[in-house]
Chain A
């Protein structure tokens, strides 16, 4: 048996070192290395997928001693919550590499940073040691900072700085919580499996640790009122950065919410369940209303992310509050599936916004008009992704949100007001589609020619849209994996 998890985690890092070692190579070769490396990483993730997960606990464990005297080790493995996220991460990076193979500015550094980011992302989802998780978590932060600061748009320096300081500040409470859990465990260990099967803290200590973790993950997710870094970072980030930021890095927040907050301090989480639920509802509604007010297409998509991530928080809170294991499993199934759907759909949307911006050099929606006639393939792709994002049945978000709402109705019926968010996002996406793609072709676009999607762009976009449909029509193949773990959770 090859240590396939570790190979998948560190393959991109090897690629990054390779890229850095060949400074004279032309940009095309560098991008080819990026695409090939991430392709093999995707293959690794697929092999992990077919090896599957266990009924209980973690599967595909790999472990090496790292700092035995303080109980830290290199431990990786997956369960039904992390495995789909690993696959999503590998897929998103692969398509992002294809999409950004046109980047000519410092392409060596770009590809190396992206590959480093891929290692950090997959590492964070597979880490089963708290220190290891924290290391990957922070490395992803640093690489994203440089990504925005170097390849972003007009106001990139400020946005990158804000992103870095905000999320760094956000991640430090997690460090406190990790130290608390470490000192509470007997014998002292950083093994997350031990912390999950036997939560080390109780009473006040557990509540404090929970609050610290909630701050970290609320910033990362992000939840109102900790969201202000997100629109700034998204608008200024390059399209590749936006896809990864929204598709992968926001998931650290919700993944951490389940893995750390819910599983390691379950009793405290249950007590705080209503508060967390409240934050989720507010985030979902706030994200929807804020998106409604945007004129910049990229900001609009960024705010709908806050809305979609809000549903996940609601789902997790409902899972904690539910007393019936069946309902709990439904709520968690929905939440985890929502992470996957959001990664696919928002990834596609940010790619499309990037493609539009490449052509039109603007993101202001009122500058467009009638583009469906000019660039039909791009237009219809956007319509498909937008419909998926607003939760149309048959597309990726529907089965996820449906399960979350189903569980919500049975546990805390009042929280179902969150469904208003769906109505609003439907409205705003229809408005966006009408402004950009329908109506008379804007004067600007009749005189200048606008090319439709190239092969490179189709290749990047295709897999995401295909999975969006597959997941909407037949979500069972992912849900089965998720359900295997969520139905066995004891807390």
Chain B
């Protein structure tokens, strides 16, 4: 028991942070709440470092401390810290500002629980916790749009989660246990295994916004404060995708799960970018782009168990995606939500322009940026696992994605007439966030070895 708790120390410290921040909020000290949450998450990250290289399970196999879950913490916690700073820049001075920080910490906690999931009940817990906190975050502005977005999100999530719980009951019935590691026993009863698999795909698919369970995402991102949209598009999504990797490890092959997930991945990538191609609102464009990027993640999930590159590629791409997507959202916060707002920005704000170009090129997967290394490894993993066709689909989609991201990049460098100069709001915190994201986007690309050496 003591051993289990000792291994759970990062999660526990987040929980303590949440309680302390909540107290600060009750005392109407939002600034203190921010400081507590940032410091708490930072401490949790540091504490996680001691777990590097550990590969074990705790509480009777329900929670896994392995490469995936440890790296999930190392990636998601810093990403959450950056999101906290973005939220501060956007929501400072609003009512109940501190609750935002508390809720963000709760979603982060739920996401890292998902990334280490070893038991179907823990999976349900993670999805519910992150869902409940996310609804509140989306609804935070309390205007019509945010309320509507949160409502859609809530209804969609409730249905998806219920279906998942229903399907998981089949697994429980079939194996007599909620442990994922017992799933191998379903080898002889493929129908039960498939029903449970479908349920998990629906539940996690909604969280990771895979097509066709993505409908809530663009609306929620558009209605929510931008910093929250940035956060939701990174942390819970990566948590859900890593949970996918944890679950499929144990599903018996009779279900042909790699093929099912591969088909979903192909549809997700293609639909996401096609939809992004016609958006006029940058937030919706980035929302659909993050849907499509979830499809790329699935290339790594498909290869779990079949290729040694699978877990490495998932982790590297998670880090890359967190950096570049947060960066792109941060710049959107500063520039504006409409494509027209980007007109000529690259000329008036050269550094900001270069940073945005770097984020978008990295999202496309152009070397030597982080997104390239991540996608390259994902492609390698998928080919290694025998999914050449899926890689071809992914590569074709990269071209589509270039067309999507150029829709932001091209106007940035067009001449603008004197009277329509768009005022870029200056916000040192947002600037700090995208500069950090920029350093990581370039750094992960150039020195991927630092990451890879830890992963092999």
Contact = CB atoms under 8 A, between A and B. Distances in A.
A138 B376 CA distance: 14
B413 interface: yes
A141 B449 CA distance: 25
A67 B452 contact: yes
B376 A175 contact: yes
Given A172-B398, A176-B395, A179-B379, A139 B367 contact: yes
Contacts of B453: 68-69
A179 B383 contact: yes
Interface centre among B367, B388, B392, B402 (most CB of A within 10 A): B367
B391 A176 contact: yes
A169 interface: yes
Interface in A101-134: 131, 134
Interface string A158-170: 0001001100110
B413 A150 contact: yes
Contact of B367 (A67, A135, A169): A135
A382 interface: no
A149 B380 contact: no
Contact of B449 (A67, A164, A169, A176): A67
Interface centre among A68, A70, A134, A150 (most CB of B within 10 A): A70
Given A65-B449, A161-B406, A142 B399 contact: no
Nearest to B379: A179
Interface of B is mostly: helix
B395 A142 contact: no
Given A139-B367, A161-B406, A164-B406, A183 B383 contact: yes
B306 interface: no
Contacts, number: 74
A168 B452 contact: no
B444 to A, nearest CB: 12
Contacts of A66: 449
Contacts of B383: 176, 179-180, 183
A111 B380 CA distance: 37
A67 B377 CA distance: 12
Interface in B360-384: 361, 366-368, 372, 376-377, 379-380, 383-384
B371 to A, nearest CB: 12
Interface in B131-173: none
A207 interface: no
Interface in B425-455: 448-449, 452-453, 455
A435 B388 CA distance: 54
A260 B288 CA distance: 37
Contacts of B402: 164-165, 168
A60 interface: no
Contacts of B352: none
Contacts of A157: 410, 414
Interface string A163-195: 011001100110110011011000000000000
26 contacts: A65-B449, A67-B448, A67-B449, A67-B452, A68-B449, A69-B449, A69-B456, A70-B309, A70-B377, A131-B367, A134-B367, A139-B367, A139-B368, A141-B366, A146-B413, A157-B410, A161-B410, A172-B398, A172-B399, A175-B376, A175-B379, A176-B391, A176-B395, A179-B376, A180-B383, A183-B383
Given A66-B449, A67-B452, A70-B309, 20 more contacts: A68-B453, A69-B449, A69-B453, A69-B456, A70-B377, A131-B367, A131-B376, A138-B367, A138-B372, A149-B413, A150-B413, A165-B399, A169-B396, A169-B399, A172-B399, A176-B379, A176-B383, A176-B392, A179-B380, A183-B383
Q: Please name the 6 residue pairs, one residue from A and one from B, whose CB atoms are nearest each other, closest first.
A: A135-B367, A67-B449, A172-B395, A69-B456, A169-B399, A69-B452
